[in-house]
């Protein structure tokens, strides 16, 4: 059944350490490579580093659109339940930190939406083709169903919408909010978020 590219622990390309890329990073983050490395060593996971970079980018460049992919939870595919739980808790905390960062930056506070969504569902314990929490490969509905949390201006707080949506609906919805036309995107605008 379907397999995604992240589930194998057997392929993790080394981070490029080319001088050129390090200089680019230095320029972008306004942070010396030495300080960056020093800070990276104090962090407990790649996602901590991603969020650190995101916050730095917000402060230095204030992009109007920022996409962050958090991968720590993918340790589930290596089958260690305790590490999976650690990953979930860390991601939850980092999402909250991002939201707090948005509220604390004048460029963002009060005028920024945050969308949080897992990329897949999860196999159920009972599905014979799966192996419990480890994957989302059985192809059953549960493995393909997930949730999305939307926060920020124009979005009603504390409301749960439970009509089925497609993850493809996100791109045209962002297009409507940000005022661009995602010409090649499929899916439909999520009207509850406008």
Partner 1 sequence: MLPRDLKPEDFKDYPPEARALAVEHIVALRELPLSFLPSLLREVIEYDFKFPVERAAVEKELANLSALSPRDLGEWFRAFTEIRLTQKLERFDWVNDPAQFVEQLAAHLWSTHQQDAFRSAAIAYAERLRAVAPPQPPALPRLGIAVIGQGVSAYDKPLFRKLRPHGAYFTRVDPESALPQLLQIAADRAKAHSAPYAHWYIDGGAAADHDASLTCVSYAALAPVRAALYRKLEKEIDRPGMGPEALRTTLARMRPADLGLGAGRDSEAVLDRFQLKVLTEGSGTQIFSTIFAQWAAREALRRAQPLTLLVRFAPRQRQRPMNELLSGKADSGESDPLGSLVDADMGAYYNWINQQRLPGAEQSSFIAWFEGHGEALAIGPSLPRGTMSNGPCEMKQLLSLAS
Residues that bind partner 1 (CB under 8 A): 1-3, 5-14, 75, 77-83, 85, 125-126, 128, 131-135, 139-141, 144
Nearer to partner 1, 94 or 98 (CB): 94
Q: Which is nearer to partner 1, 22 or 49 (CB)?
A: 49
Q: Which is nearer to partner 1, 82 or 181 (CB)?
A: 82
Q: Supply the minimum distance, in Å, between the C-beta of residue 22 and partner 1.
A: 19
Q: What is the DSSP letter of 133?
A: B
Q: Rounded to whole angstroms, how far apart are CA atoms 91 and 105? A: 21
Nearer to partner 1, 79 or 152 (CB): 79
What are φ and ψ of residue 75, in 5° steps? -60, -20
CA–CA dist 136, 122 (Å, integer): 5
Do residues 147 and 118 lie in contact, with contact meaning Cβ atoms separated by under 8 Å?
yes
Specify the 3-state DSSP secondary structure of 114. Answer: strand
Give min distance, CB of 128 to partner 1, in A: 6
Q: Cβ of residue 31: shortest distance to partner 1, in angstroms?
A: 22
Shortest Cβ distance from residue 110 to partner 1 (Å)?
39
- Shortest approach of partner 1 to residue 61 CB, angstroms? 28
Rounded to 10 degrees, what is the CA torsion of 150, 64, 98, 146?
A: 30
Query: Counting beta carbons within 10 angstroms of the beta carbon of residue 24, is it exposed (0 to 12), middle (13 to 18) or buried (19 or more)?
Result: exposed
Scored b (16 or more CB within 10 A) or e, 143-158 reads beeeebebebeebeee
Please, which residue, 10 or 183, has the CB nearer to partner 1? 10
């Amino acid at each position: 059944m379907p397999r995604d590219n992240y589930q194998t622990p057997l392929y993790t390309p080394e981070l490029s350490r080319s001088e050129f890329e390090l200089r680019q990073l230095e320029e972008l983050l306004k942070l010396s490579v030495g300080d960056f490395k020093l800070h990276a060593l104090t962090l407990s996971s790649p996602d901590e580093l991603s969020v650190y970079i995101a916050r730095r980018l917000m402060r230095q460049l204030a992009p109007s659109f920022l996409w962050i992919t958090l991968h720590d939870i993918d340790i589930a595919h290596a089958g260690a339940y305790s590490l999976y739980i650690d990953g979930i808790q860390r991601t939850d905390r980092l999402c909250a930190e991002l939201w707090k960062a948005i509220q604390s930056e004048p460029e963002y506070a009060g005028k920024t939406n945050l969308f949080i969504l897992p990329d897949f569902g999860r196999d159920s314990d009972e599905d014979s083709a799966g192996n419990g929490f480890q994957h989302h490969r059985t192809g059953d509905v549960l493995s393909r169903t997930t949730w999305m949390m939307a926060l920020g201006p124009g979005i009603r707080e504390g409301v749960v919408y439970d009509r089925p949506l497609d993850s493809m609906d996100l791109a045209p919805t962002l297009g409507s909010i940000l005022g661009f036309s995602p010409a090649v995107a499929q899916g439909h605008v999520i009207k509850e978020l406008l």
